[in-house]
Structure 1
Amino acid sequence: MSDEFYYRGLEKAKQKDYAGAIEEFNRALQLTPFFPEAYLQRGLAYYDSGAILQAVSDYTEALKQNPQSLAAYYSRALARVALKNLPGALEDIESAIRLNYNYAAAHSLRGMVRRKQGYIQDAIANFKKAAELYLEQKDTENCRLCLERIKELQPPEKSPVLPQNLPNITIKSEKDYFTQLLDKAEKGDTREAIEDLNWVLQADPQDAQAYCCRGVVRCKMGNYQEAIADFNQALRLDFHDAIVYRNRGKARYLLADYQGAIADFNQALQIQPQDALVFVARGNAYRAMSNYLGAIQDYSQAISINPDDAQAYYNRGITHTLLEEMLAARDDYQKAISIFLEKEDWENYHQVLNSLNKIQKSLPENQNQKYNLLRQRLLRMVGGQWEIAQRLIQQKKDYYPQMPEEWYLQKVIADLERDRNN
């Protein structure tokens, strides 16, 4: 007979008739006092009706009768949180987790309690564990809720910019969670960042920003083909942001696909035309293709946007050396050295200083100034493509052997000027 009242109570609770449910559970317990499930369900009805203290009393009685009741520990923990008894709630949660370590809800609740207690990193770890367990259980909704809680707890951080020959173009995510993952990757923990992003994408395969973020991390790991695949997927999901194009351009550059890189940098600049880093990156791609004049133009544009961009000065200096414009290269190296010195960036300071020392002997005052000026003039005439200049010089050498080097330069320049005037 007590079972009949018990099931009536369950039905009324389902209909949100909590008073009626409590009455039915009372009848069941009058007939059968040792009935832990009835105490648990009456506690739930009390809790849902706002009678929190009565709920705790029923949960406690249920645990006396059945100390292995996972649901009773978890339910009492919830009630104790409502009563602001956080130590008591944490004790119940620990008991629930000991009974079943894979109980995702308990890990999530422990994250909430630890957050209330001010232990933010511990809270994040618990929400992460809960999200992983929910994902394994195919409960994507609760998994996403845990992710949102993690994002709320992540403080916005500015990742340090470490200048390199190739500008380190990083994603600037609007979501604090992705910013934190990128900061983690920046500090070298790329494996954990990838793992986190993998289960984010398992929970929501349509998260375009997660694909973009994973692409950035894969770039840092040197997995450029996989990074490009992630950027492509982000674009397919309509995440047409400058972030995607500039990072895909970086990956293409590193795979020596310079034309593809330039196309991506062009797209990024259409969206963000004042991004100095992208001008430097595109300048590097132009330089790799021996388009030195195009490279110098981009580095100069980057400097006009950010006059303290040491990398732009350094890369422009490198390009000037390729054009045999040693005085211009010297000026750019010295400017880069000054900026790196001011920033106390000693690694880059010494790198540029070494580059400056290497060209000192090549400066016009130390070499045949006329010869160097002719080389510079010829390079300008062929658009900075030294390979073209070399072929033209070799043709003259084949036709007019054993002439002075300056004569060949003058001859090629004269022929080019004549052709242009005709």
Structure 2
Amino acid sequence: MTSNLDPDPSGYSEQSPVANFREANNLLLSGIEKLKQQNFREAIADFRGAIALKPDFAQAYTVWGNTCFAMKDYQSAVSCFDYAIQLDPNLSVAYGSRGLAYYELGNRQQALDDLTQSIQLDPNDVTSYYSRGEIYLRLNHYAQAVADFDATVDLFLSGKTNNPLSNALPRIQNYYRKGLTYKDSPLEAFIERAIHAEERGDIRGALSSLTEAIKLYPERAEPYYNRGSTYQNLQKLPEALADFSKAIANNPRMADYYYNRGCVYFDQGNEACIADFHQAVKLDPHLVQSYFNIGSFLFQQGNESDGIAYIKRTAMLYQQMGDRQNYLRVLDTLQSIGENF
């Protein structure tokens, strides 16, 4: 580690080990708060002080490394994580963070190795699964990327992680929407053929390609979803509902599957749409149209107060997202029913 990262021994206290530990922990917490405020220099000063009091403080080296990472000083970050791992070889978060720093330095293999080690030490480390998936995606290793993204979503759905994944989930859903789940697989040709057929107006050809895909790959969700969407466009709602339900059974991680099935239930006047719309926005927090649909359904069913509350929530979220067009559209809806926002 470079000399400017070495802890300053002049801060060492002659207090009891217990008092030193307490003071070191207080400095760690103080430094973390300063890091959150992007007061990097003072944060590092606190971490140095904590390590001076407790030289084996692996956590302090880890958050010091996180501070260097935030400053884009990736080489110093790696040095800090090296120290943390030397002190505690089982500190999964240090491996995960070092992996991200190695990635920024262009060392993708070392990054993958560290993220894998982090996951082995902590199978619930959702951040490392997601980060490793992003690296695999950039390496065009689609199957590995999908596996890690699936694990990310599964951990989120299981409730085993406190990480809100507010940015990761919408990105994963967008990857799925772009066909990442079947990229470079035999299924891709069937789905692409069906898409092109539908674009030409050859609905029968589209349905034929998707039905053939289902016969060959009955365990896959994508052909069911695509065929369900075609049936939905044709207003064949029972057929669409059956296909969307099968897609969800095969892969419960896709927000669009729940959203589209929710739309079918909505059109049928079935309150099951509410649960589907909630699940859709849970999987993709950007899919706030789900709240509008819930509000509209409740309003139509005579529950006007709850319906209006959901519609106002939609307006607020669109406003927070900076989506002015949809924000104004929802305002128009509120005004049409005599409500202000």
- TM normalised by structure 2 equals 0.51
**Deviation, structure 1 residue 76:** 0.6
The answer as to whether partners of 1:184 and 1:193 remain within 8 angstroms in 2 is no
Choose from 216, 220, 233 the match for 1:188: 216
**Deviation, structure 1 residue 153:** 5.5
The answer as to whether partners of 2:224 and 2:244 remain within 8 angstroms in 1 is no
Structure-1 separation of matches of 2:212 and 2:124? 27
Question: After superposition, where does 1:274-289 map in structure 2 within 5 Å?
Answer: none
2:133 is matched with 111
The answer as to whether partners of 1:39 and 1:62 remain within 8 angstroms in 2 is yes
1:234 is matched with 263
Choose from 82, 85, 103 the match for 1:81: 103
The answer as to whether partners of 1:131 and 1:143 remain within 8 angstroms in 2 is yes
CA deviation digits over 1:195-241, x for unaligned, max 9? 997xxxxxxxxxxxxx9976436689xxxxxxxx99874245579xx
1:126 is matched with 148
**Deviation, structure 1 residue 97:** 1.3
Same amino acid, percent of matched pairs: 22
3-state SS of 2:96 partner: helix
The answer as to whether partners of 2:34 and 2:40 remain within 8 angstroms in 1 is yes
**Distance of aligned partners of 1:167 and 1:183 in 2 relative to their CA distance in 1, 3 Å threshold:** closer
The answer as to whether partners of 2:129 and 2:149 remain within 8 angstroms in 1 is yes
**Deviation, structure 1 residue 33:** 1.4
Structure-1 separation of matches of 2:105 and 2:241? 42
Structure-2 separation of matches of 1:89 and 1:184? 41
CA deviation digits over 1:91-147, x for unaligned, max 9? 101111111223222221111111222212221222122222222228574434322
2:200 is matched with none
The answer as to whether partners of 2:211 and 2:223 remain within 8 angstroms in 1 is no
1:393 is matched with none
1:101 is matched with 123
**Distance of aligned partners of 1:102 and 1:190 in 2 relative to their CA distance in 1, 3 Å threshold:** farther
**1:6 to 2:28 alignment:** yes
Choose from 150, 154, 176 the match for 1:150: 176
CA deviation digits over 1:320-367, x for unaligned, max 9? xxxxxxxxxxxxxxxxxxxxxxxxxxxxxxxxxxxxxxxxxxxxxxxx
**1:170 to 2:170 alignment:** no
**1:216 to 2:243 alignment:** yes
1:67 is matched with 89
The answer as to whether partners of 1:97 and 1:103 remain within 8 angstroms in 2 is yes
Q: Which amino acid aligns with 2:98?
A: R
**1:90 to 2:116 alignment:** no
Structure-2 separation of matches of 1:219 and 1:168? 21
3-state SS of 1:170 partner: helix
**Deviation, structure 1 residue 51:** 1.2
Structure 2 alignment gaps of length 5 or more: 1-22, 198-202, 226-237, 248-257, 269-341
The answer as to whether partners of 1:3 and 1:28 remain within 8 angstroms in 2 is yes
Structure-2 separation of matches of 1:112 and 1:134? 17
CA deviation digits over 1:146-199, x for unaligned, max 9? 22233346357454579xxx9576399xxxxxxxxx6895353333418997xx
Question: After superposition, where does 1:223-302 map in structure 2 within 5 Å?
Answer: 233-235=262-264, 237=266
Structure 1 alignment gaps of length 5 or more: 173-181, 198-210, 221-228, 240-422
Structure-2 separation of matches of 1:104 and 1:183? 36
Structure-2 separation of matches of 1:232 and 1:3? 51
1:54 is matched with 76
Q: Which amino acid aligns with 2:105?
A: L
CA deviation digits over 1:11-33, x for unaligned, max 9? 21122211110111112212221
Structure-2 separation of matches of 1:71 and 1:230? 35
The answer as to whether partners of 2:35 and 2:43 remain within 8 angstroms in 1 is yes
Q: Which amino acid aligns with 1:216?
A: D
Indicate the RMSD between aligned Cα atoms, in angstroms.
Answer: 3.9
The answer as to whether partners of 1:131 and 1:147 remain within 8 angstroms in 2 is no
